[in-house]
Structure 1
Amino acid sequence: MSYELYFVQRSPNKIRKEKLLSFFQSNLWQVDTRAEQRDAFEVIYKNPLSKTTFQLNILDNNPGEQKEDGFYFSGILFSVEYAKPTFFAYEAMLILEEVCQAFDLYVINPQDYEIGGDSKPKNMNADAFTASWKENNKIKIHNVYEEMGVTLPYLPEDIGMAIWQYHLNKRTVTDRLGPAYVAPDYLFYQEHRSGVVKRAIAWTEWQAMVFPPCDYIIISQSLDYISYQALRESFGDYLQKINGPIDPLYTFNLQYADDVQRIYENLKPSGQLIHTHKKVMLSECVDVPDERKIHNEAAGTLDTHASSQQPKGKTTNQFFKQYRQSHTGENSENEEKQTTSSTKSKKGHDADNMNSSDVLEKNAAFSRENDVVLKRQTVKIKDLTFSSFVKWNIFLLLFIGILAGLITFGLSYMFSEQFNVTVLSMTFDSMTVGIASIFVIPLLFMILGFIASIILYVPLWLGLRVVNGLRLKGAFEIEPEI
């Protein structure tokens, strides 16, 4: 089941294939050129963060031969599937706005007749065409419920849109907090009884987390979980609210990592998802409920503490523009205007909510240009890369070798006139030996360091595996590429 659109233009001239291919040169597009047709190809859009996907087909046609009401058929066709969360369609329509602006295209919607439209060429408007998709999607889904008798995983639209915004822009949160923090992806579990989809995040081993609104926090590989409300009650004032793509977002300060870790290690599960839910993919969810199965009380079981609200000061469209700029480097004039207005509204939002600033100020001592310093903390070392292990051994022995070489040179200089050294019938004075020692001795020490690293690394690596990590307490500095 697909929602389809086709595109028309004012000009009778075919858009050049090279121009189209140049536009689609991005890692979000997959181009399939059809060798048997000179100007025909297929383009598939896939966003790995939001999971959104849709398809464009470019036909090998002559627009001048297909004129109607002053418009020429461009040969470009679009399709996006039904039975998806609404944000799939919305993201697709936002991308189509870019396509239409780039090539001066208009849109004809063949589904118009199903919802009372006129099927005439229109300017591409993401909100209007998303609304059209929603109306047609609702019809298709209800037909599935009534004719096939199946219940599709139900995820309310407002929650789906918040998930979309979070997945697209969660990287901005960890960029600000530093590399010690993890902003997890959502996982999705459908209740057996109601068909409602619940949001979960995985926290199955100790690490500094960012907590988006959710229903469950999974704390073990066997799907033991605590509820979002239990998280807030267990960690209390250690949780601090921060600004982000959705509201609320919580994390904790690294100053209190020891205390938070102790609480984490003593958490009591609220239940086990494996008995009451099944895991589903986000792309399988719909936001059209099956009224036969979902009752008001079932839909109302979503944790009120985990409700998702769109952040003040930014529209959903602006959030997508921000994502496009940060991930694809697009800087069109329209996007610059959007960014300017977005920045102005963000300033007002930051003035209203200073919790994020407080956390960042407290973490300033721990974050310096993407490095994180942990003072009086316990760090668990679970693995060790060979390259870093070798590097520091070689550096250490090189330093020792340089010192040894300088000492040898000094001694040779002191006695340079008192003795000579004969090797293989060649005579060297002690000054020559001393100078050579500055280079030879450090080199020998470096070679010894490399050999020692190989001998020591294997038992150390195996030892960390056997004891499941080594705990060290002190002051540590975490660097992105050590």
Structure 2
Amino acid sequence: MSYDLYFYKRQNQQISESDISDYLTNNLCPANEQGNQWFYENDDTEVYFSFDLNEPETDPEAIELETVLDFDYTRFSFNLNFLRPDFFGQEAFLFVDQMISDLSLYVVNPQSTIDEEFPTQPGEAELYRNWSEINARHSAHFYEELELNYYPLPASNAVWKHNFNKRQIQDELGEEYFVPKVMVLQTVADKRIITLSVWPEGLPILVPQVDYYLLVKKYRKLFKEVEESGLISAKTFQTHFGSFVSNSDAGKVIHPSNANSLQKLFNSIKFDGDVSGFAEKLPFEKMVNVIPADDENGFSQKITTVLD
């Protein structure tokens, strides 16, 4: 179940197959070995989508359909799955909109509710809003059948924005600081969705707003190297380490000077518990931002996110 787009160009437009291929390779990701698919996957946000260069049609009727008035089908298409957190669309269509603008491409959108006979150039965020609305309805419809998990849109967006900007923040702060990823987990006992970040060895760190921190300790004890890890809650973090946290343009941070002075406390702090047996990674294929409403085809939370 996916959202598909097909890209067209005007017949007099000087843009070749290699122009589009090079654009995808240079601005998105390398092509596969066959040179006909660009599968994008962001390790930080876990968002993925793809572009395909489709085989030429051999059927005469199909070939005729590829030419619409003064438009030609480029044979490039886009694919993004439904039943995903809304930020999948936010990230994907940032690129799609930019590509359409940079290459002056036109789109045939089979999912559009508007009866469009010809390829069009969508307005800014128009495709995102279309995908988002359909994604919300599908998510509500299949919520119980597929045992999906609800996570509020503002919290979901906060996770994505942190992870999406993670590398830029790392560049701004420099190598002295550790900028952790925010991970989404589900508790084993009561199926709550929680957020977690790793804090290794008391390093200077950008402090994300999460429910739990996984501390990784490495120190010497009786001439031996000791390594252990465990969870502390946000409350425990604030109680013991809040005084070391400073505000910066990038967010809340623990600076190198403070990291050095808290090292003894970091290594001596008692964990609140272990990850194992407490929580498990929640695949984003199982997380959505809507739940079914009382009416059969509705959903409880309308999608109102606007791309920044």
Normalising by the smaller structure, the TM-score range is 0.7 to 0.9
Gaps of 5+ in 1: 35-39, 293-309, 318-482
Residue 270 (structure 1) aligned to one of 268, 272, 282: 272
CA contact (8 A) 2:125 2:307 kept: no
Residue 176 (structure 2) aligned to one of 177, 180, 183: 180
Residue 224 (structure 1) aligned to one of 230, 240, 247: 230
Q: Secondary structure at the match of 1:278?
A: strand
**Partners in 2 of 1:193 and 1:141 — Cα distance?**
24
Give the structure 2 partner of residue 88 of structure 1.
88
CA contact (8 A) 1:45 1:54 kept: yes
Distance apart, 1:250 and its partner CA: 1.9
Q: Alpha carbons of 1:252 and 1:48: their partners in 2 closer, same or farther (altered >3 Å)? A: closer
What whole-Å deviation, never above 9, does each CA across 1:15-36 have from its counterpart, x for those lacking one? 42222222123374232475xx
Give the structure 1 partner of residue 302 of structure 2.
none
Give the structure 1 partner of residue 42 of structure 2.
47
Write out aligned runs for 1:25-40 (5 A): 25-26=25-26, 28-32=28-32
Distance apart, 1:69 and its partner CA: 6.0
Which AA in structure 2 matches 1:43? W
Give the structure 1 partner of residue 258 of structure 2.
256
Q: Alpha carbons of 1:110 and 1:14: their partners in 2 closer, same or farther (altered >3 Å)? A: farther
Distance apart, 1:183 and its partner CA: 0.8
Structure in which a larger fraction of residues adopt helix: 1
Write out aligned runs for 1:10-409 (5 A): 10-11=10-11, 15-26=15-26, 28-32=28-32, 41-59=36-54, 60=56, 66-68=66-68, 71-113=71-113, 117-119=114-116, 121-146=119-144, 148=145, 150-192=146-188, 195-219=191-215, 224-244=230-250, 249-282=251-284, 284-289=286-291, 317=308
Give the structure 2 partner of residue 322 of structure 1.
none
Q: Secondary structure at the match of 2:207?
A: coil
**Partners in 2 of 1:77 and 1:274 — Cα distance?**
42
CA contact (8 A) 2:5 2:107 kept: yes
CA contact (8 A) 1:155 1:286 kept: yes
Q: Flag the structure with larger Rg.
A: 1
**Partners in 2 of 1:273 and 1:108 — Cα distance?**
47
Distance apart, 1:275 and its partner CA: 3.3
**Partners in 2 of 1:88 and 1:23 — Cα distance?**
21
**Partners in 2 of 1:11 and 1:169 — Cα distance?**
39
What whole-Å deviation, never above 9, does each CA across 1:341-373 have from its counterpart, x for those lacking one? xxxxxxxxxxxxxxxxxxxxxxxxxxxxxxxxx
CA contact (8 A) 2:107 2:122 kept: yes
**Partners in 2 of 1:233 and 1:289 — Cα distance?**
35
Percent identity, aligned pairs only, is 23
What whole-Å deviation, never above 9, does each CA across 1:33-56 have from its counterpart, x for those lacking one? 75xxxxx93332233333322122
Distance apart, 1:65 and its partner CA: 6.2
CA contact (8 A) 1:192 1:278 kept: yes
What whole-Å deviation, never above 9, does each CA across 1:271-329 have from its counterpart, x for those lacking one? 4443342222446532234789xxxxxxxxxxxxxxxxx9xxxx953xxxxxxxxxxxx
**Partners in 1 of 2:155 and 2:186 — Cα distance?**
14
Q: Alpha carbons of 1:70 and 1:179: their partners in 2 closer, same or farther (altered >3 Å)? A: closer
What whole-Å deviation, never above 9, does each CA across 1:206-235 have from its counterpart, x for those lacking one? 322221111111125886322223212222
Write out aligned runs for 1:410-421 (5 A): none
**Partners in 2 of 1:174 and 1:98 — Cα distance?**
25
Write out aligned runs for 1:459-470 (5 A): none
Q: Secondary structure at the match of 1:91?
A: helix
Q: Secondary structure at the match of 1:274?
A: coil
Gaps of 5+ in 2: 217-226, 295-304
Q: Alpha carbons of 1:290 and 1:258: their partners in 2 closer, same or farther (altered >3 Å)? A: farther
Q: Alpha carbons of 1:23 and 1:261: their partners in 2 closer, same or farther (altered >3 Å)? A: same
Distance apart, 1:197 and its partner CA: 2.4
**Partners in 2 of 1:18 and 1:288 — Cα distance?**
40
CA contact (8 A) 2:197 2:212 kept: yes
Write out aligned runs for 1:442-453 (5 A): none
Structure in which a larger fraction of residues adopt strand: 2
Distance apart, 1:64 and its partner CA: 7.5
Q: Alpha carbons of 1:177 and 1:139: their partners in 2 closer, same or farther (altered >3 Å)? A: closer
Ranked by relative contact order (alpha carbons within 8 Å, sequence separation 6 or more), the top structure is 2
Superposition CA RMSD, Å:
3.3
Q: Secondary structure at the match of 2:241?
A: helix
Distance apart, 1:200 and its partner CA: 0.2
